[in-house]
Amino acid sequence: MFDFGFGVIVLLVFLIAASVRILREYERGVIFMLGRFWKVKGPGLILVIPGVQQMVKVDLRIVVLDVPTQDVISRDNVSVKVNAVVYFRVVDPARAILQVEDFMSATSQLSQTTLRAVLGKHELDEMLAERERLNLDIQQVLDSQTDAWGIKVSNVEIKHVDLDESMVRAIAKQAEAERERRAKVIHAEGELQAAEKLIAAADMLARNPQAMQLRYLQTLTTIATDRSNTIVFPVPGDFMKLFQPTAAKD
C-alpha cells in the first residue's frame, strides 16, 4: 500500500513537471487539443496536458530578414543585382501557425519575388534616386500579402543596387555629357545676358552724347597707364565741338 501511494505521488509529480511550461514576455504558445486548435496562451506559467495537448511556441519579436541578392531587369531593360532587408513580426500567433507551414520561409520567398516584381516596374534612375519610395511600395505589397498569415511587415530597406562594369562606364559617360551640356548652356546664357547689357548701354550712350564723351575720356585715362610707346585713339567729331565756343570767344 505504501509502495502504491508512493508510485502515484511520483507519477503526479512527473505529470505536473511535464505539464509546466514557462513562456517569456515576447513568446506565445499555440495550444492544440487532440489535434484541434484550442487557444493561444502566455506569457508566464502555463500547463499543457501531456498526450492530450500540444504547444507550438511563437516568437513575437521583430525579425530581421536578409533578402538574398536578386537579378532584376528594370523597365528600361537594364540588368541589376539588388538585395534588401525586411523587418516583420508575428501579430497573430494562431494564424501564423495555422495558415502557413513555415511563416519564416514563406515570408523570405515572398520577399524575393516581390522585390523583383516591384523593381521591375521602374527604370534604373528611379532605383538609384527614389529608393525611399520604392522601399515603401515593397513594404505595402508585402504587408498586404502576409496579413492573412498574421504577420506585419513594418519596414523594407533596399541595401545595394549593383551594376555591371559596362553599365557603370555608360552612366559615367552620360553624367559627363550632362555636365558638358549644362556648362555650355550656362556659358550661352552668360553671353546672352552680356549682349543684352551691351545693347542697353549702347542705347543709353546714343541718347546721351555727353555720356559718350565721358566714356572716351575714361578710356583715355585707362590707356594712359599702358606702357606702349604709341597710342592711336580715334577722336569723334562731336568731341571737337566742345571746344568750338571757346575758340569763337577768342
pLDDT digits (tens, 9 = 90+) for 82-126: 999 999 999 999 999 999 999 999 999 999 999 999 999 998 888
Three cell numbers at 155? 519596414
Residue 182 lies in a domain: yes
Q: Are residues 155 and 244 in the same domain?
A: no
Decide if 180 is inside a domain. yes
| Phi (first) and psi of residue 43, to 5 degrees | -85, 180
Q: Is 241 a residue whose pLDDT tops 70?
A: no
* In the block, residue with C-alpha cell 487539443: 33
Do residues 83 and 149 both lie within one domain? Answer: yes
User: Looking at the structure, do residues 217 and 230 belong to the same domain, yes or no?
Assistant: yes
Supply the mean pLDDT for the chain: 82
Residue after which a domain boundary falls, among 103, 138, 163: 163
Establish how many alpha carbons lie within 13 A of residue 19's alpha carbon, considering only the half-sphere containing its beta carbon.
Answer: 14
Residues 157 and 87 in one domain: yes
What is the rounded distance in angstroms from the CA atom of residue 131 to the CA atom of residue 138?
11
For residues 131 and 68, state if they share a domain.
Answer: yes
- Is the same domain home to 110 and 146? yes
- Which structural domain, as residue segments, surrounds residue 53? 8-59
Q: What is the grid cell recorded at 242?
A: 566742345
38 with 50, same domain?
A: yes
Cα torsion at 3, 5, 11, 17 (round to 10°)?
Answer: -120
pTM above 0.85, yes or no: no
Per-residue pLDDT, 1:
45
Helix (H) or strand (E) holding 84: strand 79-90
Choice between 158 and 11, residue whose per-residue pLDDT is larger: 158
Residue 26 corresponds to which cell in the numbers above? 515576447
187 and 224, same domain (yes or no): yes
Q: How much is the pLDDT for 78?
A: 84
Do 43 and 74 fall into the same domain?
no
Comparing 128 with 137, the larger pLDDT belongs to 137
The tally of domains found in the chain comes to 3
What is residue 247's predicted lDDT score, i.e. its pLDDT?
A: 45
CATH of the domain at 127: 3.30.479.30
